Amino acid sequence: MRIRPRRQLLDLWRAVLAHSYRDGEWVWGGRDGSNSISDAEQLLCLLYPATEIEAFNLDQPDNIASDTQKSLGLFGEETRIGRRLVELVDEYLDRYTDPDGRPVFAADTYMHSDIDDDPPTDAQRGLEVVDSFSMSLSLCLASLRFLRGFQRFVDGEVRLEAKHLSEKIPVVAGKVSTRLTAAMVGLLRSFVIHTPAVKSPDGREILRTINQNRDREAIVLEQLAAVLDSLRVRTASEVRLAQAAPEVTGTDIFDDKLLFECGWAWGIADTAAAIEVASPFVGTAPGYATTRPYLYFTAVALDGIIDLSSQRIRESDLLTGEQRRLADALQLRSELARSYWSTVARFGSGRWPLEDIPWRTSDGEESDYFSLVVTAIVIQDLVYRDSTDDLPRTIAVADQLARRARITSRVTSSDPAASLHYPGVRLRLEGSQAVGGPLMYWHVPDFVTMMLKRCLQAARLRTSVELRDQLMILAEAAMDHLERCQIKQGQGVGLWDAPAWMFGEEAGVSVPPGPSWFVTERVMECLVVAHGTFRKSSLAPDSMITRAVDLLSEADHLLNQEELEVEGGDLSPRQATINRIRHSLDRARTILRERPGTAYSLATVALTQLDELAYARHDAAR
């Protein structure tokens, strides 16, 4: 399926409103019910494209594009779209703020128990998870950007309705800012450093993953200490906020005899220290998550922090001084986590640990999904450093994972790979029993969207045409898969996810009706990334630039020769033709480095026209 982000995003907006906006009222929730994460995902499907893509901006009603306005036609005329979005943001904040004014990040209906007759308790449904912090981070930033732009518009209006909005927007923005601070604090208190002993079960699993050459343990530990030394020093010296003292956690980051991994737990860590901020009730909630990084939640946190640390957010001055301090702390942790997993994934001189599929985590769990998450972090690290050094091997891993997950290969009867897509990889939330009740599980069905997003991001790198083609082939195969999973009938037509086709009728797998906002929001993110990727200039291989330069050189020489033969001065038809050819060659030189193929074509056309002039002149002379 061809990836056409503008058209597909507008179709997505139409589908979101058709399902969610009924009889003038917004209906929250989808297949998984209503909770702080799902409702944020539902609202982000509208707000994220509107604040990330200029052509989709909704904060200036007079400038809304006609196709954009049509896709949101259920909201009414252009001036009503902005007002309705302000109301939706306000409604979401009221739903997930308790009577004391404390923002709520409960996972609620996303929590699952493995025992049918022992469902999650109310306390377990109220547990706060990294997914909610990260999603709220993105939602709050998008909301602030929209509210600031819309405020400028309504301040210039003289209608009574505009005066009411002008007074309401600052109030809503204040609520958004409070939730943003709470989400940032939650992410800081969920960052963990895990330092298991070499002989412990966790240490053995880490060594088994990284020791691909089966070297002696002492050699591997020495090599690992060498490559992680600077990371250890930086982590120990700079990571302070929300980290409990070593005597409390048993963590000694400087001890080379201990192994080391860092990232985000599933929620606030059980060892997290309190953080003092100006907002009341924020930064002191107890944590229950085991102090061990989860790959999925680490990837989710990294995505949210990228939105927070973007140059556009910093330049727009959306953050308070306190929030900038928290943002700097999160940026530091994201760099440490990304560097750690990218380094470990490519450790050693032979086969990478990443190439040993499936990836095995320190708690003994293994899955192709974990391999994909580590691959995604490696790609994210390459994009961040603008490096293509290890991109070919990383793409090869992604290609193998796409085949194993049946993205680029045929689905077989009762295929075990189908569970990667529904209900998704199951994660044990260790520590969730501490509030009373059974062990909680988290289902992650975003294999395809993660593959698609990372391929599109990697395609932005200045790599070879061959590698970019490989990435786009993988991306289009993932889009094909998603097209088959799009809901075609019943509730939520045009949204995602309808994966029942993968199982076959005989499997008897029942997928609840309605859209999954978890999957739909991630499809939206992929389309926004695709829009940004397609906006980038095309690849300019040196070989093509060289060929274009050769043609331009010949065309210039022939053009100068033709100028010597012109009769009749500037008014002659021949001189007019020569002037057009010269303008074409000037254009080719201007775009030579960015679009060498186009420059090559312009030079070829110019050479053809010059040959026609020369032939006509010789024919006339005969």
- CA atoms of 137 and 152, how far apart (whole Å): 23
SS3 call for 394: helix
Enumerate residue ranges in the chain where pLDDT < 50. 247-248, 250, 506
- CA atoms of 147 and 16, how far apart (whole Å): 21
Q: What are the two backbone dihedrals, phi and then psi, of residue 63, each rounded to the nearest 5 degrees?
A: -110, 10
The confidence score (pLDDT) of residue 12 equals 97
The confidence score (pLDDT) of residue 158 equals 59
Tens of pLDDT, residue by residue over 108-121, are 999 999 887 789 99
The confidence score (pLDDT) of residue 505 equals 55
The confidence score (pLDDT) of residue 237 equals 77
Name the pTM for this structure: 0.89
Bond from prior residue into 5 cis (ω within 30 degrees of 0): no
Record the tokens describing residue 150, joined without a space.
């819309």
Tens of pLDDT, residue by residue over 498-510, are 888 777 654 556 7
> Please, which residues have CB within 8 angstroms of residue 318's CB and are 6 or more apart in sequence?
141, 144, 145, 148
C-alpha distances in Å from residue 558, one per residue of 103, 201, 575, 622: 72, 75, 14, 21
The confidence score (pLDDT) of residue 248 equals 45
Structural domains in the chain, sorted by start = 5-200+239-535 (1.50.10), 542-621 (no CATH)
Q: Which helix (H) or strand (E) holds 465?
A: helix 465-484
The confidence score (pLDDT) of residue 371 equals 97
